[in-house]
Amino acid sequence: MTTSNPNFTDAEYAARISQVRAEMELRGLDLVIITDPSNMNWISGYDGWSFYVHQCVLLGMEGEPVWWGRGIDANGAHRTVFMKYEESVVSYDDSYVQNPNKHPMETLASVIIERGWHQGRIGVELENYYYSAKAHDVLTNHLHEASLVDATGLVNWQRAIKSPPEIEYMRRAAKIVTKMHEIIYERAEPGMPKNELVAEIFHAGIMGADGQWGDYPAIVPMTPSGLDATAAHLTWDDSPLRAGESNFFEIAGAHRRYHCPQSRTLFLGKVPDIYRHAEEAVRVATDKALEYARPGYRCEDVANAFNSTLATYGFEKDNRCGYPIGLSYPPDWGERTMSFRRGDYTELKPGMTFHFMPALWLDDGGLEITEPILITESGCEKLCETQTGLFVK
């Protein structure tokens, strides 16, 4: 049933399932309905662009996980999941797809009832892009004997510490994003339409690096210039690059769904003094913050070190300066658990991976010089070898 090129061994999937079940037991859950495609992939191996329709992985306290989704995606499940048994892939017919008169969750409720989970405590990912209010309403109305409880983040938190194979995939993604930044510096010039440069970025990302192929990223390149770069999440149009403007590029290399995002800022022409001052502030504050990115410290320790140092240069950052990364699908490459910000007391542990994101938005542009990092036994490691500081051309 499984693909001839699986991402992980059966033993690794078994270890992940054991982790999740231990947390389920602590919460008194008999079943979790996993709808986040990142969590679905992590627990089962499923990989397909089918998250625009209802799908999930069911995980009870015994037996294999069960993939459930649209009928035409069942063969994709057979090709990618690690599960061995035919009954571990279940699908619904196409008449349920985007039909206002019926809903796929009706069939999921039937599956749950048939397998004897309908009288237990069932965890659902309430705060998730892929689990709609309508889906929850239908399930609730069809599972009268069950108790549906919020299990948002249950699986996400089990993903926090990466295994050696996961870290290897992220190292490959790091080499890809390094190559993407090299292409930006090489190709960008005044007068070049932004969409042409983005096409080069995509090409480099998919071609990959060091013989490793590039996967599609969970977020498209963020590539604003000039006043557009005072905003965090604008993309591109056909406007030409201009001398005298800042251009930041928030992009990610991806390999087998594992991401390494990294940002750099390119200035075409003479760099204004305010940008040099901001560059120095971010560099020093980053160095200070990463002293605390080590086992035993907390997420807020990293943020407090960064913000207090940044303040000595006259800058203030009023949003978080980092978040966990790894396996992901659109629309986000973050893992949606901990953050580098005041009040987050999560203890850092070896194997955690983050996007350290000390972005500043100034009056006439933006400055993003960010790093994907790995918490090691003795500190932290920058995963990329990309040239640091402002890119100037």
Question: pLDDT digit of tens for each residue in the chain (393 aa)?
Answer: 445 467 899 999 999 999 999 999 999 999 999 999 999 999 999 999 999 999 999 999 999 999 999 999 999 999 999 999 999 999 999 999 999 999 999 999 999 999 999 999 999 999 999 999 999 999 999 999 999 999 999 999 999 999 999 999 999 999 999 999 999 999 999 999 999 999 999 999 999 999 999 999 999 999 999 999 999 899 999 999 999 999 999 999 999 999 999 999 999 999 999 999 999 999 999 999 999 999 999 999 999 999 999 999 999 998 999 999 999 999 999 999 999 999 999 999 999 999 999 999 888 999 999 999 999 999 999 999 999 999 999
Q: Which residue has the tokens 């960064």?
A: 306
DSSP secondary structure letter of residue 373:
E
Distance separating the N- and C-terminal Cα atoms of the chain:
52
Q: Which residue has the tokens 């069960």?
A: 66
Report how far residue 27's alpha carbon sits from residue 23's, in angstroms, rounded to the nearest whole number: 6
pTM of the model: 0.96
Q: Output the pLDDT for position 79.
A: 94
DSSP secondary structure letter of residue 326:
S
Q: Output the pLDDT for position 347.
A: 98
Q: Output the pLDDT for position 2.
A: 43
Polymer length in residues for the chain: 393
Q: Is the CA virtual torsion 82, 83, 86, 90 positive or negative?
A: negative
Q: Output the pLDDT for position 315.
A: 95
Parallel, antiparallel or unpaired: strands 380-382 and 147-150? unpaired
Report how far residue 288's alpha carbon sits from residue 383's, in angstroms, rounded to the nearest whole number: 18
Q: Which residue has the tokens 């999560």?
A: 346
Q: Output the pLDDT for position 5.
A: 60
The C-alpha torsion from 35 through 37 and 43 to 44, rounded to 10°, is 100
Q: Which residue has the tokens 């769904």?
A: 257
Q: Output the pLDDT for position 370.
A: 98
- The answer to whether the CB of 131 falls within 8 A of the CB of 35 is yes
List of domains in the chain? 10-158 (3.40.350.10), 164-392 (3.90.230.10)
Angle CA(303)–CA(308)–CA(313) in degrees, nearest 5? Answer: 125
Q: Which residue has the tokens 């991401």?
A: 259
Helix (H) or strand (E) holding 264: strand 258-267
The number of CA neighbours under 13 Å toward the Cβ of 96 is: 18
